Chain A
Amino acid sequence: MVIDQQKMQSLSDRLVTDEVRGRSPWADARRRFWRNRAAMLGLTILVLVVLFALLGGQFAQWSGEELDFSVMGQVAQMGQPSIANGHYFGTDNLGRDLYARVVQGTQISLMVGIVGAGIAVIVGTLYGATAGYVGGRTDQIMMRAVDILMSIPYMFVLILLLVMFGRSMSMLFLGIGLISWLDMSRIVRGQTLSLKNREFIEAARATGVSSFRIIIRHIVPNLLGVVAVYATLLVPLMILTESFISFLGLGVQEPLTSWGALISEGAGTMNYGTLWQLAFPLFFFVITLFGFFFVGDGLRDALDPKER
């Protein structure tokens, strides 16, 4: 009987390393996430959409701003999606290339979503962690302020801000950022409350680490799971908010565009038989939302074994 020395060697190697390495909760979560088919589908969609936003412009035959005079005035007949004249997605009712505009709208909408969620992550995490860690009266005042802000009809206030201080990208970011962190801070505070009496925090406090450093070095890293899940679910909400405002014509301004503005244009002209103007932006909008929801749900299931 011949024993394959090499195989035995590799088996024993693996046993040794496995024993040493163990399986961290993070590795466990990663494994569950990779196995989740819906989440992987969502991730694939998102990667493709991001690639489309980053590289799609390279393939455009037209810029989003020039008018194609050969189709102008007869968009319904001439402006259909076609490879031949370079308008892959057709043209809009002014004769602008819809492909280039969808690429640009995708860039803007994704940026709004990610910046909005980013503000929520930074402000919400620090605010919630501080309130939860400090506790007592400070906590009460801070969370009461959040309660008050939550009961304001934010969409109306956002439109109020945009109208009063002019419609610009920075105002849009500021307005969306102002409201996005509220839920995050509540969730983070809840988590912090359950963390702050654990031994390792007590040890840090006993060795004289300042409160600020405890929050930054010990509390925040332990919140990452919850924050990551919530941030993933927040991005589509931010995209929805921006699209809502742009649909009303109060968001990004020409020549810039976003999914909401494109959907609004497409909806306004669908009566004239130019359905592609609605279909293409809508398609990207819907699949991206699907992608984020699937990935967010997948992350939550992966990080919270109880759910399964």
Chain B
Amino acid sequence: MFAFVLRRLAVAIPTLLLLIVFSFVLMHLAPGGPFTGERALPPQVLANLEAQYGLNDPLWLQIWNYLVSVVVHFDFGPSFVYPDRTVNQLIANGFPVTLTYGGLSFLAAVIFGVSLGVVAAIWHNSWVDYLAVGISIGAQVLPNFVMAPLLVLVFTLWYRLLPGGGWSFSDPSFWVMPVIALATSYMASIARITRSSMLEVLGSNHIRTARAKGMPEHRVIIRHALKPAMLPVISYLGPVFVSMITGSVVIDIYFSTGGIGKAFVDSALNRDYAVMMGVTILVGALTILFNLLVDVLYAWIDPKIRY
């Protein structure tokens, strides 16, 4: 197991370094710099600014400096557009918010999706199954940017139950709509995956054996069917996690929650490359880390995996 984790890390770390170098080179190639504004700066000022940010160094040295500051010091440097703020501050402001509603919607999607799928598989071809399948098909075409306006329309504009935007760590009524908007379509996918894998497991030999020896049905399902049926769901958790972070872009814009997605879109519209890169690298690191966790979890649950 330890060797397996090490081997996965041996791939994960170069990937991350590659992502950093790639986004840095991309930034370097992009036409227009952070200081090309509507009014051209005086050449002397421009030269001083470029010297200040080390933009006159050869490319390899810039990459190296950036790599060292990111990897060793966890320092993404100052924002190009707001020189009084560092990228780290922007991320530190937004990240707890994103993590809160992202984590909650992840849990919601997994819990409701798995329950829906299991229930549908147990009562296969009954009205319960049809209802669950109907819900999951309907929810699949409602991505976060469709759910967000619909929820605001119903709960804020029509019934005035929930605040239409903003964020507060102490008041959960601000959390409800972001979580539902993010979770809905992934809940649907998880339900579909769970249902089909549960159906396959329920038709397999070891379940027939368990039933034949007189085990009560709920024990058959909980002890023998659930664990193997969860394997495809687990391998889908990586993409779901990534989508929660990506979806935060929409949530932050639409609900003004002020998470990390807001920092990203603002910087995209301002051409604040330092912030864009910082967020991309952070999200990349999280993605790689989470995929690693999922792989380890998978290998731990499934005894057939050789590692």
Interface residues of A (CB under 8 A from B): 144, 147-148, 151-153, 155-157, 159-161, 163-166, 240, 243-244, 247-250, 260, 263-264, 266-267, 270-271, 275, 278, 282, 285-286, 289-290, 293
State whether B11 touches A244 (Cβ < 8 A).
no
CA distance A7 to B242 in the complex (A): 65
Q: By the criterion CB–CB under 8 Å, are B23 and A263 in contact?
A: no
Contact A282 B146 (CB under 8 A): yes
Given known pairs A151-B287, A161-B26, the reply for A156 and B280 (CB within 8 Å) is yes
| One of A156, A243, A263, A266 near B264 (C-beta < 8 A) | A156
In the assembled complex, the CB of B247 is this many whole angstroms from the nearest CB of chain A, namely 9
Within the complex, the shortest CB–CB distance from B241 to chain A, in Å, comes to: 11
B265–A153 touching, CB < 8 Å: no
Number of chain B residues whose Cβ lies closer than 8 Å to a Cβ of chain A: 45
Does B94 interact with chain A (Cβ within 8 Å)? no
The docked-state distance in angstroms from the alpha carbon of A248 to that of B247 is 11
Contact for B250 among A153, A163, A248, CB less than 8 A? A248
Does A293 lie within 8 Å of B157, measured CB to CB? no
Contact A156 B141 (CB under 8 A): no
Give how many A-B residue pairs fall within 8 Å (CB-CB): 105
A160 B280 Cβ-Cβ under 8 A: yes
A159 contacts B268, CB within 8 Å? yes
- List, in ascending order, chain B residues with CB within 8 A of A240's CB: 143
Q: List B residues 110-126 near A (Cβ within 8 Å).
A: none
With contacts A153-B287, A163-B268, A267-B254 taken as known, whether A247 is within 8 angstroms of B26 at the C-beta atoms is no
3 closest residue pairs by CB, A with B? A267-B149, A164-B30, A289-B141
Pairwise interchain contact A159-B264, C-beta atoms closer than 8 A = yes
A244 and B143 in contact (CB under 8 A), knowing A147-B11, A151-B288, A160-B280? yes
Asked if A270 and B153 sit within 8 Å, CB to CB, the answer is: yes
Q: Find B246's partner among A153, A243, A264, A282 (CB 8 Å cutoff).
A: A153
Q: Closest residue of chain A to B16, judged by CB? A: A151
Name the residue of chain A whose CB is nearest to the CB of B289: A151
Is A290 within 8 A of B141, CB to CB?
Answer: yes
Smallest beta-carbon distance A106→chain B, Å: 16
State how many angstroms separate the Cβ of B136 from the closest Cβ of chain A.
11
A148 and B27 contact, CB distance less than 8 A: no
A278 CA to B150 CA, complexed, in Å: 9
* Cα-based distance from A114 to B187 in the complex (angstroms): 26
Which residues from A are CB-within-8-Å of B128? none
CB distance B146 to A157 under 8 Å? Answer: no
Which residues of chain B have C-beta atoms less than 8 A from A155's C-beta? Answer: 246, 249
Contact present for A293 and B268 (CB under 8 Å): no
Select the residue from B142, B145, B152, B276 with max chain A CB neighbours within 10 A. Answer: B145
| Given A151-B288, A160-B280, A144 contacting B143 (CB threshold 8 A) | no
State A285–B27 Cα separation when bound (angstroms): 34
B210 within 8 A of A: no
> Assuming A156-B280, A164-B30, is B140 touching A278 (CB within 8 A)?
no
Interchain CA distance A152-B23 in the complex, whole Å: 11
A250 to B18, CA, bound (A): 26
Which single residue of chain A is at the shortest CB-CB distance from B279? A156
B79 within 8 A of A: no
Give 30 pairs: A residue, B residue, CB < 8 Å, sorted on A.
Answer: A151-B12, A151-B284, A151-B288, A151-B291, A152-B284, A155-B246, A156-B276, A156-B279, A156-B280, A157-B280, A159-B249, A160-B280, A161-B26, A163-B276, A164-B27, A165-B31, A166-B31, A244-B143, A247-B250, A248-B253, A248-B265, A249-B269, A260-B145, A263-B145, A263-B146, A270-B149, A285-B146, A286-B141, A289-B140, A290-B137
